Amino acid sequence: MSCSRRGFGSRLGLLLAGVSGGNLWARAAGPIAASPRAEGQETQHAPSPMTTHAKGSEEGQHAGPDQIWAHLLAGNQRFIAGKPAPRELVQRRERLVAGQNPQAIVLACSDSRVSPTLIFDQNLGDLFVVRAAGNVADAVGLGSIEYAVAHLHIQLLVVLGHEGCGAVEAAASGEKMPTANLEALVSKIAPAVAKVRGQAAGAQFLQKAIEANVYQSAADVLANSPIVRQEAAAQHLEIVKALYSLKTGQVTRLEG
């Protein structure tokens, strides 16, 4: 790929735009759902499990990963229908000053069309979001996820890819990236692309590569984070792999 500004803007720009210590990390004994919260920190959820209203209830703390995922999918259906739940933003913001109690971690792409909080129709403090182009996690992203797992005791990690992902398309192009940073990005995605190369062509190939990259991102998190690996093995953490449709707004869980 040309390193010129024009070449970068015309080719890679389009691709990435998606066009064509100590006690802090210690886990309390017992299941995550029953983990004690910091003194003075109240639960930020309403009487209905995982609701978007901040009224304070014990139920949100004790919802398991399946319940949390069902709650996120219900929010996604509201998003699709254009009927978001009412928000008490001022009250929620004031309550969150004391601390956070997010219900799920979402590893998502940086694409501006893919906002997890909006897609799942959630409120301030509901999601711990880690984003990078191509929904990949480098050391910094992994550290953020580990913080959420070990300190915030979150039970659900959603690895969320999306159709038309420009970062995956850039990796699939096989072209040399113009900077070391961009090369580092596509190198995280390239193995997923290689797994499906030759299985299809055109748009079908890109879609297969996008799905393969979601699986690979989840596998990379497990392989490179001893904290995530340990908590997943102990069934304290569930990892859900999912895909977002830019056209319909639908989030679909991938098998496996």
Q: What is the CATH classification number for the domain harbouring 9?
A: 3.40.1050.10
Residues 6 or more apart in contact with residue 165 via CB below 8 angstroms: 18, 109, 111, 134, 135, 210, 213
Q: Which of 165, 255, 254, 251 is nearest to 205 (CA)?
A: 165
Q: Are 50 and 103 in contact (CB under 8 A)?
A: yes
How many other CB atoms sit within 10 Å of the CB of residue 204? 11
Buried b / exposed e along 83-96 (16+ C-beta atoms within 10 A):
eeeeebeeebeebb
Percentage of the residues of the chain whose pLDDT score is greater than 70: 76
- 10-64 pLDDT tens trace: 444 444 444 443 333 333 323 333 333 333 333 333 333 333 333 333 345 568 9
- In this structure, the strands spanning 251-253 and 156-162 are unpaired
Measured CA to CA, the distance from residue 47 to residue 23 in angstroms comes to 31
Q: Which of 171, 214, 178 is nearest to 194 (CA)?
A: 171
Please report whether residue 171 resides in a domain: yes
Alpha-carbon torsion, ordered 210, 76, 68, 166, to 10 deg:
20
Average pLDDT on 155-178 reads 97
Average pLDDT on 236-244 reads 98
- Which residues span the domain enclosing 172? 5-20+57-253
Average pLDDT on 74-88 reads 97
Please report whether residue 108 resides in a domain: yes
Please report whether residue 146 resides in a domain: yes
pLDDT the model gives residue 62: 65
Please report whether residue 47 resides in a domain: no
Q: Is a pLDDT exceeding 80 seen at residue 238?
A: yes
- 172-201 pLDDT tens trace: 999 999 999 999 999 999 999 999 999 999
Measured CA to CA, the distance from residue 134 to residue 16 in angstroms comes to 9
Measured CA to CA, the distance from residue 99 to residue 9 in angstroms comes to 42
Please report whether residue 131 resides in a domain: yes
Indicate the average pLDDT of the chain: 82
Please report whether residue 67 resides in a domain: yes
Number of domains present in the structure of the chain: 1
pLDDT the model gives residue 63: 87
The region, left, alpha or beta by phi > 0 then psi within -120 to 50, assigned to residue 252 is: beta
Q: Is a pLDDT exceeding 60 seen at residue 130?
A: yes
Please report whether residue 48 resides in a domain: no
Please report whether residue 30 resides in a domain: no
pTM beyond 0.85? no
Measured CA to CA, the distance from residue 22 to residue 208 in angstroms comes to 42
